[in-house]
Amino acid sequence: MQLQSVSLKEEEVIAVVTINHPPLNIVNHKILTELEEVLERLKTLKAKAVIITGTGKSFVAGADIKEMKDKDALSALEFSKLGQRVVNKIENLNQPVIGAINGFALGGGLELALGCDILIASENAKFGQPEVRLGIPPGWGATQRLARVVGIYKAKELILTGKIIDAQEACRIGLVSKVVKEKDLMKEAHSLATQISHNAPIAVRLAKFLINRSFETSLEDGLASESAMFGLCFSTEDQKEGMQAFVDKREPNFKGK
């Protein structure tokens, strides 16, 4: 597939995915399909961390209302499933995914962001799930994921009122990890991705898996999985290298084996 509105760039051990559909990066069926294609390509790359961002003054300002407004129930269902599938693929990438939110992250844009592992935002970023103002609930996962991030009461407030919050409020409620100046956003995202890339790839991948799985299982089962993955890592070269490097007081050289 030839990509037109989504780009993928490898920068050493970091991959950068950019949504480029000016002026506000409104997402339609075609762009979702391109994004899904890019996520599949990421599975074949050696990148140890991924950054997802948007061009200009917006991350993703939502789904294309003009495209959606005349859908019937069946086609709307399929569109919802496509959006959910794309967000699931972001969430389930082996690599940690950093969302660099450079402006509006509204509706489907916030839902795409919720698939990321860590969100950082520029000072001008805005967040919201305004779907109820359009006569629909969120359809790409916000009713399920947002409460897991900010708590059930705050999620209900945001979704049921449809209000939009700024970056500082998003940081206060735990939706984003950090707010930085607009000019520093990608520098900060790269810094974070670089820190992650220095760690043992297998350990990072398993830690991400365990954290994500913790929302879907009991504490007892989650702890059992953690112990199993902890033990498994002692069969890897990375564990031997990491601990020997600590004893030797040097930086480890992880190979992802």
Provide the pLDDT confidence category of residue 13 given band limits of 50, 70 and 90.
Answer: very high
Residue 111 near residue 158, CB atoms below 8 Å: no
Residue 49: both structure tokens together:
């961390």
Query: Using one digit for the tens of pLDDT, what is the confidence trace for 213-256?
Result: 998 899 999 999 999 999 999 999 999 999 999 999 999 999 98
Of 3.40.50.280, 3.40.50.10800, 1.10.12.10, 2.40.50.100, which CATH number belongs to 201-248? 1.10.12.10
Give the C-alpha separation, 19 to 63, whole Å: 13
pLDDT beyond 90 at 12 = no
Query: Using one digit for the tens of pLDDT, what is the confidence trace for 136-174?
Result: 999 999 999 999 999 999 999 999 999 999 999 999 999
pLDDT beyond 90 at 90 = yes
Give the C-alpha separation, 243 to 133, whole Å: 54
Active site residues per annotation: 111, 131
Q: Give 160's contacts (C-beta < 8 A, 6+ positions apart).
A: 132
Instruction: Count the alpha carbons within 13 Å of 209 in the hemisphere toward its beta carbon.
Output: 13
Report in angstroms the alpha-carbon separations of 117 from 16, 88, 101, 145, 245. 15, 12, 13, 12, 28
CATH 3.90.226.10 residue window(s) in the chain: 6-197
Query: Using one digit for the tens of pLDDT, what is the confidence trace for 98-127?
Result: 999 999 999 999 999 999 999 999 999 999
pLDDT beyond 80 at 1 = no
Give the model's pLDDT for residue 85: 97
* Nearest C-alpha neighbor of 254 from the set 39, 38, 46, 10: 46
Give the model's pLDDT for residue 173: 98
Residue 41 near residue 8, CB atoms below 8 Å: yes
Give the C-alpha separation, 236 to 101, whole Å: 36
Report in angstroms the alpha-carbon separations of 222 from 1, 115, 211, 218, 227. 39, 21, 9, 6, 9
CATH 1.10.12.10 residue window(s) in the chain: 201-248
Give the model's pLDDT for residue 152: 97
Assigned CATH for 6-197: 3.90.226.10
Residue 217: both structure tokens together:
């299982």
CB burial readout 203-230, b (16+ within 10 A) else e: bbbbbbebeeebeeeeeeebeebbeebe
Q: What percent of the chain has pLDDT over 70?
A: 100
